Structure 1
Amino acid sequence: MAILSFHFLLLLLLLGAFSSLPTQAAARGGHDPSGYVGNHGSFSRNLLEDKPRITEEMVYGYMTNPELEVAVHAFGSRCPNISRIYSIGKSVNNFPLWVIEISDKPRQKEAEPAFKFIGNVHGDEPVGREVLMHFANWLCDNYLKDPLATLIVENMHLHILPTMNPDGFALRWRGNANNVDLNRDFPDQFSPFNNDINYRQPETRAIMNWVKQEHFTASASLHGGALVANYPWDGTRDKNKYYYGCPDDKTFQYMASVYSQSHYNMSLSKEFEGGITNGAFWYPIYGGMQDWNYIHGSCFELTLEISDTKWPKAAELPVIWEHNRMSMLNLVASLIKSGIHGRIFAADTGRPISGSVMIKGIDSKVRASRTYGDYHRMLAPGEKYEAVVASMEGFRPKSTRIVLEQEAVNLDFILDPIEPDGQMKLTRNDCGCPCDNDKLFHVQEAHLWLYILVLFVLLILYLLFKRKTASRLLTYRYSPRRPIAV
């Protein structure tokens, strides 16, 4: 009897524990796949059964994976002067992850910001792949005709990955071919059990390598099932649900609002004030892509829920595209129109260096590129920033104060190198003399007393020499004259 009571009590405790878990909306998470299982506490990423019935009628009108591949390459052929087609890897079932790069110089590295769009992260949310192809074709058709299209093409590099999860789309379920939710598969600051590289999916690894290779300033992934712009953090330290902002919370609110306010009806949401939400406040997730981008790539990423229905009928896609068109354009253009942009140079060589830029009071850094030393720091406009600090190992940091209005600010830094002994290395001025640019006579002042002592000794020697010479002249003047031999 005692054993039965114990088992009954244990069952009640387990039921209470499960009932206290946060309820998750289907859009960002569906059923929470996270759970700790045996084998040294490894992190389980397999989904619970989350396979909503997708009918043939719903699928009709969407591009299949082979059709999407043809469409991507057809775009490259139609718009060769402003595009490049490349792959960042393959899915579990060996389907290439094709990317469209759009720029006026798509095959060159430039000192310009870069933005990436990612669609179809979840296999059963295909609206993003269709909308992104609409977006790419619109830019091609309107380049040199529309001001925003021209601004984007000529002043930045835009990278579009229509599908991150082609296998899940083909299988008509949420996860990839291994039934893994790719938006729970990234390393997470709050879940160390999610950091085992042996469990990382090929699609996830492809994104991680892509971010390391490119110098992305900002990013957005397109999802379905709600209508809201979501921003970091996506989780909390104690795994509870509440607002948990990242260091750049104001900037992310600004970016999310740019998208929401430009949308047909996102900002009118009754569920989300202003059509935006902090991820952890909505419901916490762990292993998400946007938090990883911000921490490890200095890339400001949003998670955009652009359709109330996860898999709308194809006939609705043109309307969804039109509702999101200005939002997508304005979000991408905000990289050029706002924030601070510049380059970092070494004072002794004049060459660009890959330093970092930090804002006083904001605990996050943005790195400059290795090629051109260019940095692009997203910031909320209408703010005063006491110190913008550029730094790099081996150089003395420099800072300045800015007032950021509605327009972007251009700000370059020239850093002075430091010698191994901690002294600042002297550079040459225009006259060719070694000097510090800030204090011309710093070195001479340090040795002033030595110079005075040397001058004093020279003066004494000069006076002694002059006195001896004068004595010889007097002796010669008053001595008897000698006869001159003729």
Structure 2
Amino acid sequence: MSSLFLLLAVLIAGPASMLEFRYHSNSEMEQYLLQINASNPEVTHLYSIGQSVKGQQLWVLALGLSPRRHTVGIPEFKYVANMHGNEVLGRVLLLQLINDLVRGYRDNETWSLQLLNSTRIHILPTMNPDGFDEAGTHCQYSQGRFNYNGVDLNRNFPDAFAGLRRQQQLREEKREAEVRAVIGWLRTESFVLSANLHGGALVASYPYDNSNKDSELVDGASVTPDNDVFVHLARVYSHSHASMHRGDRCDDSMPFLEGITNGYQWYPLSGGMQDYNYVWAQCLELTLEVSCCKFPPVRELPALWADNKKALLAFMQQVHLGVKGRVFDASGVPVQNAVVEVKGRRNMCPFRTDQHGEYYRLLLPGKYSFTVKTNTLNVPYGPDNYSAMKHDFLLRRVSADPTQSNLPHANLTPADPTPADPTPADPTPTFLLPQKKILI
């Protein structure tokens, strides 16, 4: 059925009713999203980031006070589910989350108003609709994991840790349609925080998933410059979950202390989505394994939603950690691609301002020195107030050549590498500034 006919059916049907606890087909899910969007246009916007191999739309519902476009100062957040087609609980959880957010907003419930007033939330309930169509219902061993071309989408992203030969191969490889859609999505939206929902274990996993077996390896973990923030984020989800924090093991799974793990320490993987988000899109992403069973029985869905609801909401609130602001030149013009680095956190690709001159740095409370300007910032705990600390930087015009000191932006570096050239940029700022194995 075409989207036009579905939309007509939705408009005839009227406002969305209570969402059933069951597994909705891809067409049913599409109809539900169209219905929610048509009934709540003031806080929702439905858009597609592309199509699957078989041509199914990859629908995203954006929610917020300005759902159609970015608002300066409002961070962008996303949830992605069903990357592996046979790991299906995430689809149910994200549809229920949409339902609750919209209902709460209509009913003027404080928790929903706070989230939607302060955050633009993007929800992609299925990244692999073709795999879902083929999925078996066995708890662990079933078909449907891969996309229609038989590719594991969570091994198909550019990998920052690939060697030079592998880097060249990556440039030449054809990426899967679903992966290309997500990479394009990350280019159009400046996401700050994200999680992708999987199944087959009960744990919050954080980057890195891969390693050069170099200085990033610490006690068997592949540690990012923002490891303290990632551990905090994982704990927020785990300890807000009904049981994840206990670290109970699933069948054929190891126990996890506090219900969290470094991805590489659990098992290394190349081409993962969460590493790509962090390295090239400056978006901190977790992989949330939300159920021991990849395809839980329908009767268990209400309880599983109850287990995860609080955690899903608490994690979204963490997008307000740290500090946010804008970088302006001496004329008050926002500066795009200005490096905003925090002392002691040297990312493979430097964090840069977006097209609006904005930056967002998720940081735990404390004092931090920024290289944009010789400033020390005392960062409070933003999620309590649904807003990171706001701090703008005003830059002087400087140049390597003193005779050219009045040229604006003379020393801005190029944007981050595109997926066609996945080699990380030189992390040195060049903007001259004052200072069994079951596959999971």
Q: TM-score range by the shorter chain?
A: 0.7 to 0.9
CA contact (8 A) 1:113 1:217 kept: yes
Q: What 5-or-longer segments of structure 2 have no aligned partner?
A: 1-20, 136-143, 249-254, 383-387, 409-433, 435-440
Aligned-partner SS, 2:103: helix
TM-score (norm 1): 0.70
Quote the offset at 1:399 in angstroms.
2.5
Q: Summarize deviations over 1:44-101 as a string: whole Å, max 9, x none.
A: xxxxxxxxxxxxxxxx941111111111111101211101000000001000100000
Per the alignment, residue 105 of structure 1 pairs with: 66
CA contact (8 A) 1:148 1:333 kept: no
Distance in 1, Cα, partners of 2:26 & 2:70: 30
CA contact (8 A) 1:151 1:333 kept: no
Aligned-partner SS, 1:384: strand
Quote the offset at 1:145 in angstroms.
2.7
- Aligned with residue 343 of structure 2, among 344, 354, 360: 360
Distance in 1, Cα, partners of 2:402 & 2:290: 54
Distance in 2, Cα, partners of 1:64 & 1:141: 22
Q: Summarize deviations over 1:127-146 as a string: whole Å, max 9, x none.
A: 11111011011110112633
Q: Summarize deviations over 1:173-203 as a string: whole Å, max 9, x none.
A: 1000011100000011223436144331000
Aligned-partner SS, 2:402: coil
Q: How is 1:27-426 mapped onto 2 (pairs within 5 angstroms)? A: 61-111=22-72, 112-143=74-105, 145-172=108-135, 173-192=144-163, 193=166, 195-238=170-213, 242-270=220-248, 271-336=255-320, 338-347=321-330, 349-354=331-336, 355-364=338-347, 365-370=350-355, 372-381=356-365, 383-385=366-368, 387-390=369-372, 398-407=373-382, 408-419=388-399, 421-422=401-402, 424-425=405-406
Q: Summarize deviations over 1:18-48 as a string: whole Å, max 9, x none.
A: xxxxxxxxxxxxxxxxxxxxxxxxxxxxxxx
Q: Summarize deviations over 1:350-369 as a string: whole Å, max 9, x none.
A: 12112231100101232222
Distance in 1, Cα, partners of 2:123 & 2:42: 16
CA contact (8 A) 2:52 2:129 kept: yes
Aligned-partner SS, 2:293: coil
Q: Which has the higher contact order (CA 8 A, sep 6+)?
A: 2
Q: Summarize deviations over 1:94-140 as a string: whole Å, max 9, x none.
A: 00100000011112321111011100000110111111011011110
Give 1 or 2 for the bigger CA radius of gyration. 1
Per the alignment, residue 251 of structure 2 pairs with: none
Distance in 2, Cα, partners of 1:197 & 1:228: 35
Distance in 2, Cα, partners of 1:260 & 1:103: 26
Aligned-partner SS, 1:357: coil
Q: What 5-or-longer segments of structure 1 have no aligned partner?
A: 1-59, 391-397, 428-437, 439-486
Aligned identity (percent) is 39
How many positions carry a matched residue from both structures? 357
In structure 2, relative to structure 1, the CA distance for the partners of 1:294 and 1:319 (3 Å cut) is: same
CA contact (8 A) 2:86 2:145 kept: yes
Distance in 1, Cα, partners of 2:389 & 2:371: 15
CA contact (8 A) 2:22 2:92 kept: no
Distance in 1, Cα, partners of 2:407 & 2:209: 48
Quote the offset at 1:218 in angstroms.
1.1
CA contact (8 A) 2:245 2:259 kept: yes
CA contact (8 A) 1:229 1:276 kept: yes
Quote the offset at 1:419 in angstroms.
4.9
Aligned-partner SS, 2:360: strand
